[in-house]
Amino acid sequence: MTTEPTPLPPSADDLDARLAEALRYGPFPRALRAAIAHRGLSLARLGVHLDRLGVHVGQSTLSYWQRGLRHPEVPRALGALRALEKVLALPPDSLVVLVGPRARPASERATAAAFLDFGRLWSGSAALLSELDAMPEITRCNAELEVLSVHDFVVIDQYRVQRAVTTRIVVRAMRAGPDRYLAMYHADDNGAIGASEVRTGEGCRTGRVRRHAETGTMLTELLFDRRLTEGERHVFSFSLHDQGSTATPGSNRTFREPGADYLLQLSFHRRAMPARCTQYFRVREDAEPTQAEDLVCGIGGVVSAYFSRVGRGLAGIAVDWD
């Protein structure tokens, strides 16, 4: 009887570009699918290789894992994950790090848990997350969409007050079915959140809206015109209009998952130009910036910050007025 040798794990540079990207940015189901395809094994053959290493993972479980219907539970599944890395000729820990501390698949997590990273990154969101209990359909909506790029265009008036934010987002469906996106917004003036208005552009319409005056936060459900198919890209836009009265300190966006490209632009009124604008990135709201760079306000009073493959955290522009 002949056996198929298990190759030595290559470095990430030896993997094809698609697999390397999946291993770097995840999520786990996408990386596992890419690794299995790269190795050229059926799920049945993959199971045989795992059995030879003394690790049994059912073919149905492997299918669920690569489709994102279930998620490996850690620490119980660490042995299976390391065996998969060996059989699939992947660098050590390349699959383990994509699983992280999650104990349940996205389809079974509670709504608040689905936005756990969001809550940790932005402490002001915690109070409003409890409102999600009234919106059960969004338990899985954002988790099933990969954000490819985001463009925020912020308008600041002659009184230094933020008046509108227009956002355009490009997403890709990680599996068939998502038909909405949940957007969270924080106003400069907490008291003005009750008067903030959402207007939709192409690709979506407004669903339910929840507000929390004490923290100046708002959740908006953006409904697509259909359910997306797996791998389908979708572009949608919307704008938020403020009725605040305080000078804006700048603008930022929280990213729960790494990998998206982000363009943030602030447009200033000609009678209220800033003294200084700084592009920054921080892993948490209360953390020191890991990136800080002075920006030039260009012709027309627009300042731009571009983040390529932005990481998990807050990316933004800080404004100094004096």
Listed residues 59, 92, 108: the one ending a domain:
108
The separation between CA 38 and the C-alpha centre of its own chain, rounded to angstroms, equals 26
Low-confidence ranges of the chain (pLDDT < 70): 1-15, 25, 74-75, 100-141, 188-192
Contact predicate 281/253, CB 8 Å:
no
Contact predicate 187/199, CB 8 Å:
no
Clarify whether residues 44 and 120 are in a common domain. no
Domain annotation covers residue 100 = yes
What are the backbone angles phi and psi of residue 58, rounded to the nearest 5°?
-60, 150
Domain annotation covers residue 34 = yes
Residue-wise DSSP of 273-305: --SEEEEEEESSTTSPPSEEEEE---TTSEEEE
Q: CA-to-CA distance for 189 and 245, rounded, in angstroms?
A: 7
Listed residues 83, 108, 133: the one ending a domain:
108
Domain annotation covers residue 230 = yes
Clarify whether residues 191 and 313 are in a common domain. yes
Domain annotation covers residue 2 = no
Clarify whether residues 179 and 300 are in a common domain. yes
Report the DSSP beta bridge partners of residue 264: 152, 305
Clarify whether residues 86 and 140 are in a common domain. no
Q: CA-to-CA distance for 288 and 30, rounded, in angstroms?
A: 32
Q: What's the pLDDT at 106?
A: 34
Clarify whether residues 159 and 308 are in a common domain. yes
Contact predicate 183/222, CB 8 Å:
yes
Listed residues 108, 134, 164: the one ending a domain:
108
Clarify whether residues 104 and 121 are in a common domain. no
Q: Which two tokens stand for residue 83?
A: 């065996």
CATH at 220: 2.60.40
Clarify whether residues 166 and 126 are in a common domain. yes
Domain annotation covers residue 213 = yes
Clarify whether residues 134 and 266 are in a common domain. yes
Q: CA-to-CA distance for 51 and 29, rounded, in angstroms?
A: 21
Clarify whether residues 59 and 171 are in a common domain. no
Contact predicate 80/50, CB 8 Å:
yes
Domain annotation covers residue 24 = yes
Domain annotation covers residue 3 = no
Residue-wise DSSP of 199-249: EE-TT-EEEEEEEETTTTEEEEEEE-SSPPPTT-EEEEEEEEE----S---
Domain annotation covers residue 4 = no
Domain that holds residue 314: 111-320
Clarify whether residues 190 and 77 are in a common domain. no
Clarify whether residues 315 and 167 are in a common domain. yes
Q: CA-to-CA distance for 141 and 144, rounded, in angstroms?
A: 6
Clarify whether residues 166 and 216 are in a common domain. yes
Residue among 44, 45, 100 nearest 72 (CA): 100
What is the domain count for the chain?
Answer: 2
Contact predicate 173/197, CB 8 Å:
no
Q: What is the pTM of this model?
A: 0.60
């030039």: which residue's tokens?
296
Name every residue whose Cβ is closer than 8 Å to that of residue 47 and which is 6 or more positions away in sequence: 56, 57, 58, 59, 62
